[in-house]
Amino acid sequence: MKNLLYIHGQGCGGDTISLLNAEEPDFALAMEMLDINIAWHPSLSVINGNEVLKVYNSFINGESKLDYFIIEGAVPTAPNGTGKIYESFNRPFIEWVRELAGVAEYTIAVGTCAVSGGISAASGNPTGASGAQFRRENIGGILNEEYRSGAGFPVVNIPGCPAHPDWVLETLYLLSQNKLSADQLDYANRPAQFYSSLAHHACPKNEYYEFKASAEELGQMGCLFENLGCRGTQCESDCNLRLWLGRTGSCTRAGYPCIACTSNNFPQTGARYFRTQTVGSIPEFLPRDVPKAWYIGITGLAKMATPDRLKKNAVSSHITKQNSTKKEQ
């Protein structure tokens, strides 16, 4: 049986809530199937205090093997890199993270806060919040760029606000079966199979997107990119391919603009969410899957060819005009 230690830094706990919504299998069954013992989890374990300290030290002293070390939440580093702003068992939390990562077979950062700082590291935060091996877009968080776990991996990053439970459980499965190698991580040390798509892919609003038939207000059916700040065309995730909550939902399926929460620079400094930032009439953040010049050139042509039903439905809260068997004007 392999040991998993899950610790929580600076954050909301949303990744744990997401993980507990895992299905097919659920979280408890997945741990059983993977033969994983949860040595401690701050929200799920009954032990506390000195009993937790004994668990930490058993790994650090080599009495027990730490197979999977999962960090959720950012790691505070203030003041002046000491991390004393947040202490655990009379030591800065940052010191525990470094010691435990030093003996872990695999270190895994779950959620954008743990990966790169996330909301905890947003502009103006006095805690010096950092991700494990990234600080925003720059590699070199509280574990330096050269850090490698016992298995020779950098920190395996699973960003998201929160992370999809499948991303966590499937990563554990792949590691347990030696089916994930370090060279299968992408430029941000994420398992590429989860982050090589865009949230835009399989979005149900894509017909509106192709014709640039855009919603003007939240709650309308049209594409959310042109006016309402949707960043699904920049967000690297499979959210619309791998649905959430009963395999039914995603942000854009609920009519909510994607905020690119898997990005290392989330939340973007100075960004205005839910309103598209433009340079003239051109969105500042253009789609990543098409050449920028192509996008700019095709937009006008697409608007000229937009079917009447899409124009009308785009600014409606429900379908008001059905597709016609006759050629649309």
Where do the structural domains in the chain lie, given as residue ranges?
A: 2-194, 197-320
Tokens matching residue 240: 């619309």
Tell me the residue type at 171: T
pLDDT at 143: 96
Q: What is the CATH number of domain 2-194?
A: 3.40.50.700
**Per-residue confidence (pLDDT) for residue 55, from 0 to 100:** 98
Q: Rounded to two decimals, what is the model's pTM?
A: 0.92
Do 197-320 and 2-194 fall under one CATH topology?
A: no
Give the number of C-alpha atoms closer than 13 A to the C-alpha of residue 155, restricted to the C-beta side.
35
Q: Which CATH architecture has domain 197-320?
A: Irregular (4.10)
pLDDT at 329: 47
Q: In 96-255, where do the E strands start and end?
A: 104-110, 134-135, 138-139, 156-158
Question: Collapsing DSSP states into helix, strand and coil, what is residue 249?
Answer: strand
Residue 188 Ramachandran class (φ > 0 left, ψ -120 to 50 alpha, else beta): alpha
- How many residues in the chain? 329
Q: Give the pLDDT of the chain (329 residues) as one tens digit per residue.
A: 999 999 999 999 999 999 999 998 999 999 999 999 999 999 999 999 999 999 999 999 999 999 999 999 999 999 999 999 999 999 999 999 999 999 999 999 999 999 999 999 998 889 999 999 999 999 999 999 999 999 999 999 999 999 999 999 999 999 999 999 999 999 999 999 999 999 999 999 999 999 999 999 999 999 999 999 999 999 999 999 999 988 889 999 999 999 999 999 999 887 788 898 887 777 878 788 777 776 777 777 788 888 999 999 999 999 887 876 555 44
The pLDDT assigned to 219 comes to: 93
Q: Quote the CA–CA distance of 200 and 289 in Å, as a whole number.
A: 10
